[in-house]
Each structure stands twice: as structure tokens, then as C-alpha cells.
Amino acid sequence: MGFAHRHLLGIEPLSQSDITCILDLADQYVTLNRSAQKTSDVLKGLTQINMFFENSTRTQASFELAGKRLGADVMNMAMQASSIKKGETLIDTALTLNAMHPDLLVVRHPNSGAVDLLAQKVNCAVLNAGDGRHEHPTQALLDALTIRRAKGRLHRLNIAICGDIAHSRVARSNIILLGKMENRIRLIGPPTLMPSEISEFGCEVYDDMREGLKDVDVVMMLRLQKERMDGGFIPSEREYYHRFGLDADKLSHAKDDAIVMHPGPMNRGVEIDGDIADDVTRSVIQEQVEMGVAVRMAAMHLLAENAKAAARGMSSSEVMV
């Protein structure tokens, strides 16, 4: 069974086998990326446009590199968050771009749902590079690949996701993905940073790090998303670090071989101690960045193949959902 989707808008529509299909192909791209000749021509002749309506360093660079390694023509559009204030403007932008016949559109937007809306207006494959608090599917996939390679499996693990769950699309996509793959997920953070719909997630919830981290295999830390906060969610950063920042003492409650993850950008001394982040025996933060390029190559490869199959005349219902 292949990957039968036209877009990658979130983890929600993906099945277990879709996820495995992307990760298996990404493993091959990890090998390619570690070789001297890092390029292939899978996307040769195709045009990839990156539209980031929100600042990004690693995700945009990662998508750009992924497209270039596969031979695509990659264009980065500098979109200022301020230039897009109305839904109408977003749709106009989408229509303008569509007229240029891109094959792959990579979109990050501050509003949840904006990328889905855009996907309805264009003819090409759309990849969500993060929309508001909603989803960030390639981040969850790269996290999954990192976990699978470090732990040798992606099921029946105890995984703690810690910190600002409420404002984090990374947390949402990871909760969905890791849940689909049958892991036990614990959410740890202050009640003010837990989403209101928390009970629907089927996760265990803790507000004490030492208790929540007990015997976990994976510790995933999150940045405090201050740009999405409109009030006082924490008393102070110092107090937050004291209670929820990952340091050696709190980490000692996890399994001895537990790995430490962070999607970046990291605030050292706020959600994580710098020494833990740099400890290569525990931290897989750099591997996450490496897996990001491979996962994005795999996702764009699969979407481009589906577009080709559709163009060959198979009805979209035969190949795609």
C-alpha cells in the first residue's frame, strides 16, 4: 500500500501505513544525505515555492534543501505576516501563485486552517509547514523518524511532551501521530498551558515534571510560544524553569536511556538546561534537524509521484484522498 494523498496538510488524515511509508522512504534519504553525492533527480523540472507568512529558520532551510537535493527549482517568497491581514488576500496570493504553475507549495501561516483553505484554491500539492496552533506534520514525522531510529521502534513507548502544549502545533501533530502508532503519551506542564480540549486527547496529564517523567523513554520539550500568548500564562521565566525546565535532576526520573528532544528554536535556561541540550549521550536535537531534511524529501517525493499518476489519467479517487 502506498501513500495516496494529494497534499500533506496534517497528521490527522494519515493512516499508520501512510506514516510508515513516509518514514521508510525518509530512511533511504538519510543514507543519501550522508553520502558524498547528495542529490537525485526525483523532482527534476518541478517548481517548489516556499511561502512563509511567519518567521522560520530551520523549517524553511530544511524544505529548501530538501527540494534542491531532489533537483527541483526552489523559490522562497518573502511573506511578511503583516502583508496578509484578510482571508481574501491569502486566496488572492494563492491564485496568483497558482497561475505560475508550481508543482509543490510549502506554506507556513499564523492562522490555524489557512493552509487547508489555500490547498482548496490551487492545483498543485500543498505541504503544511505549520499553521497557527493547528498542525505541523513534517515536524511530527521527523520526530517520529528520530524516535524510531533511536529506539528501534515507534510503538509501545512512554513519551512525555512537556511545556506549552496549549499553543503548540508541534505538540498537536505529535500527539496525533504518536497516538496513531500506539504509544502512551503523557503531557506535562502547568494547567494554564494545557489546551481546553485536553480530555479528548486520550493522554495522561501531569503538572509535576518528576512524577510525569517517571520511566519515560522519550522526553520532548517545547518552547514557550510567547508570540501566541495574550496574557500571563506563567508567573515568571525563572519560576517556570524551576518547575518545568528540563535539568539533570528532573531527567534522572526518566529511564536511563531516555532521549531528549526539542523542535527548536530552544530557549536555554527557560524550558531546557543548556548542558542537557548539548549532551550527545541524551539529546537527539541535532538528529531531529538531520531527519527533517530526509522526511521533507520523502514527503515531496511521494506527493510528486501522486501528482504524476493523477496527470496520467487515473481519477483522483483511485489514487488520492
The residues carrying an active-site annotation are 58-59, 86, 108, 136
Residue from the set 5, 7, 169, 282 that interacts with ligand NCD by CB under 6 A? 169
Kindly tell me which of 234 and 307 has the beta carbon lying closer to ligand NCD. 234
Single out the residue of 170, 178, 181, 293 in contact with ligand NCD (rule: CB under 6 A): 170
Give the residues across from 100 on adjacent strands: none
Q: Does residue 245 belong to the site contacting ligand NCD (CB under 6 A)?
A: no
DSSP code string of 128-147 = EEEETTTB-HHHHHHHHHHH
Contact 172, 185 (CB under 8 A): no
DSSP code per residue over 17-49: HHHHHHHHHHHHHHHHHHSSS----TTTT-EEE
- Of 204-233, which residues contact ligand NCD (CB under 6 A)? 223, 225
CB of 143 closer than 8 Å to CB of 168:
no
Size of residue set near ligand NCD by CB under 6 A:
11
Nearest distance in Å: CB 267, ligand NCD? 9
Strand partners for 162:
188, 221
Q: Which residue number, 59 or 183, has a Cβ lying nearer to ligand NCD?
A: 59
Of 42 and 61, CB closest to ligand NCD: 61
Residue 223 C-beta: closest distance to ligand NCD, Å: 3
Closer CB to ligand NCD, 212 or 292, in the complex: 292
From the list 59, 146, 158, 306, which residue makes contact with ligand NCD (rule: CB under 6 A)? 59
Contacts with ligand NCD, 68-107, as mask; x by CB under 6 A: ----------------------------------------
Please, is 28 exposed, middle or buried when counting C-beta atoms within 10 Å of its C-beta (0-12, 13-18, 19+)?
middle
Report the residue from 58, 149, 228, 268 that binds ligand NCD according to the rule CB under 6 A.
Answer: 58
Sole binder of ligand NCD in the list 10, 130, 163, 212 (CB under 6 A): 130
Using H for helix, E for strand and C for coil, what is the string for 147-188?
Answer: HHHHHCCCCCCEEEEECCCCCCHHHHHHHHHHHHCCCEEEEE
Confirm or reject binding of residue 268 to ligand NCD (CB under 6 A): no
- At residue 133, what are phi and psi to the nearest 5 degrees? -95, 10
> According to the binding rule CB under 6 A, does residue 263 interact with ligand NCD?
yes
From residue 134 to residue 163, what is the string marking binding to ligand NCD with x (rule CB under 6 A)? --x--x------------------------
CA distance 84 to 82: 5
Contacts of 219 by beta carbon, 8 Å cutoff, 6+ apart: 160, 162, 213, 246, 251, 254, 258, 259, 260, 261
**Closest distance between ligand NCD and the C-beta of residue 8, in Å?**
15
Q: By CB under 6 A, tell whether 296 contacts ligand NCD.
A: no
Helices 58-69 and 137-151, interaxial angle, to 10°? 80
Closest chain position to ligand NCD (CB):
223
- Nearest CA-CA partner of 306 in 103, 142, 135: 103
Beta bridge partners of 186: 160, 204
Contacts with ligand NCD, residue ranges (CB under 6 A): 58-59, 130, 136, 139, 169-170, 223, 225, 263-264
